[in-house]
Amino acid sequence: MSEPCAGEPPCPPRLRPEANPSYWKTAIPTGLSSRPSHHGKPILKSVEAMRQTTTTLVGIFLIAIAVVLPSLGQGSQPGQTPTEPFSQPKGPYAVGTHEYLWVDQKRDEPFTKDPSDRRHLLVRVWYPAEATPGSSPAMYVRDINEFPEKSVYRRGEHIKTNSVTDAPIAKSKDRFPVLIYQPGGGTARFIGTFEAEQLASQGYVIVSADHPGFSETILFPDGYHFKADMLLAPKETGMLRDDALKSWDWLEKDVFPTWTADASYVLDKVEELDRTPGQLFQKRLDLSRIGMMGWSFGGATSVQMSKDDRRVKAVVNQDGQLFGDVWEKGTSRPVMVMHHGGEDKPPKPADAAVMKELTAMTQERDRSFLSHVTNDWYEVTISKTQHGHFSDFLLFFPRNQAELDPRRAHEIITAYTLAFFDKYLRGRDSDLLAAASTAYPEVTFKKGAGRR
């Protein structure tokens, strides 16, 4: 990674990590959609192995790759992973990318016992860039040693993106608005590359950070080895309802406050990037036009931040179950809420009633939230999609023919996300936000004006 320490002390060479399955063995699989989702262990080697694990653990919560398992074709092998899965950006700008390691020296690492550990965040940025003909595209996974030996991300070392590392930032008389992207629980900062590149090509700077303790990163560019030994998830019992409620409680009390603190720190660092001489983004960011967006647990984080931090002017929640107090208190910012439209089924018929109960609980939070929003709100539900459609994952495996093509889903997600932020950060109206669109018949569209 270029400039890995971002102003911190010089970093020693990278060290090869050891696999860390002990942490994941203690983690309750989780599914953080607007409805309970399919899930399983994140470090399994093959599609079929992942599928078999998932079928016994459906309906509680998401963790990493297993969220997409219902859509993965059988027999997919690592060698068959596509090397160029991402659609070409449609905007007027080329796309550049840069990575940072940010270490919050004011915060202890909450997931480890060592009092000297400080909170580490790996950050990827996509931005509007000048075209650089002949430049090699950046790789999706920059360093496989960041992840455990059995991590599914190691299968992505040959995947290319449409971005160019450290390409010159685009010339413009105006500063660029900023979008903070929050990945899903258990996933990596780059899991929304499909939309980050498209949005950057339209003139946005997108900043996304990992969240150690609920991600797979175990080695950082400064040589720091991360292994959680505190605030571990409750052990699963096999009882769907009990496991779900205990997992939700763990996420609410132990994980969510750390994610919102990370989000606040990222906003501080973005401000620092804009004012620091010599930085790539010095005086190029419009800090008065910051939006936040996220998938799954990251969507929940984004919505909470729209209530808690005035720097966030608009927010998009992509299929995220709500946590914190925002579902009871609402937000004063404009918000778009996206849902997958496919049916979630329990792992066995005996769990159908429990699944229905859990689904009703998450839906009630959605209704409560929108009833307390004091600004414009939008709901977008995409038919024949599941939770994984809001990430890159489904691009890497054979398509489930009963579901919407991932590229079509990504086109829809990006179109509505862009229309929303263009309206509330740039003042550009869009027909997509006026009523249901014939261009996207897969979408069920609702809107409202919150009480003010």
Q: For 373-384, how does the pLDDT look when each residue is reduced to its tens digit (9 = 90+)?
A: 999 999 999 999
pLDDT at 174: 96
Question: Looking at this protein, which amino acid is placed at residue 336?
Answer: M
* Within a domain: 117: yes
**273-297: per-residue pLDDT in tens?**
999 999 999 999 999 999 999 999 9
323: left (phi over 0), alpha (psi -120 to 50) or beta: beta
* Residue appearing with tokens 């690592």: 78
* Within a domain: 173: yes
pLDDT at 28: 26
> CA-to-CA distance for 270 and 268, rounded, in angstroms?
5
pLDDT at 405: 97
Q: How confident is the model at residue 4 (pLDDT cuts 50, 70, 90)?
A: very low
pLDDT at 186: 94
* Within a domain: 226: yes
CB-based contacts of 53, cutoff 8 Å, min separation 6? 40, 41, 44, 66
How many domains, the chain?
1
Q: What is the CATH number of the domain that holds 270?
A: 3.40.50.1820
Q: Which pair of structure tokens corresponds to residue 239?
A: 């009882």
Range of the domain at 407: 21-449
* Within a domain: 444: yes
Our measurement of the distance from residue 228's CA atom to the centroid of its chain's CA atoms, rounded to an integer in Å, reads 21
pLDDT at 425 over 70: yes
> CA-to-CA distance for 374 and 306, rounded, in angstroms?
12
* Within a domain: 132: yes
pLDDT at 411 over 80: yes
The pTM is what? Answer: 0.85
* Within a domain: 8: no
> CA-to-CA distance for 52 and 232, rounded, in angstroms?
24
* Within a domain: 12: no
* Within a domain: 309: yes
pLDDT at 398: 87
